[in-house]
Amino acid sequence: MTGSEVTDAYGSQAGDVANMLGTVVSAEDPDRIMIESWANTVSGTILDIGSGTGRWSGHLAELGHTIAGFEPVEQLVEIARRAHPDVQFRLASIDDLVGSEERWSGILAWYSLIHLGPDKLPDVLTTLRRVLEDGGTALISFFSGPRLEAFSHPVTTAYRWPMEHMTRALEQAGFEVTGQHWDPSALHAVVTARADSGR
At 15 the pLDDT is 56
At 8 the pLDDT is 53
At 126 the pLDDT is 96
* Angle, helices 74-83/3-12, rounded to nearest 10 degrees: 60
In-domain check, residue 26: no
Confidence category of residue 2, pLDDT binned at 50, 70, 90: very low
pLDDT, one tens digit per residue, over 42-61 is 999 999 999 999 999 999 99
* Count of domains forming the chain: 1
The Cα-based distances of 19 to 15, 22, 24, 74, 114 in angstroms read 6, 5, 11, 16, 20
At 22 the pLDDT is 65
Domain that holds residue 130: 3-21+31-195
Strands (E) across the chain are located at: 46-49, 67-71, 88-91, 104-110, 132-143, 149-151, 158-160, 175-183, 188-195
In-domain check, residue 144: yes
Contact 104, 131 (CB under 8 A): yes
In-domain check, residue 139: yes
Q: What residues contact 100, with CB distance under 8 A and at least 6 apart?
A: 131
In-domain check, residue 70: yes
The residues facing 180 across adjacent strands are 191
Distance CA 196, CA 50 (A): 23
In-domain check, residue 45: yes
At 171 the pLDDT is 96
Q: What residues contact 96, with CB distance under 8 A and at least 6 apart?
A: 70
19 pLDDT above the threshold of 70: no
At 186 the pLDDT is 78
DSSP output for 110-165: ES-STT--TTTHHHHHHHHHHHEEEEEEEEEEEE--SS-EEE--SSS-EEE--HHH
At 61 the pLDDT is 98
Mean pLDDT of 10-19: 56
**Run of H or E including 74:** helix 74-83
Mean pLDDT of 138-148: 94
pLDDT, one tens digit per residue, over 145-188 is 899 998 877 666 889 999 999 999 999 999 999 999 988 777 89
Cα dihedral 111→194→122→73 (10° resolution)? 40
pLDDT, one tens digit per residue, over 93-118 is 899 999 899 999 999 999 999 888 89
CATH of the domain at 155: 3.40.50.150
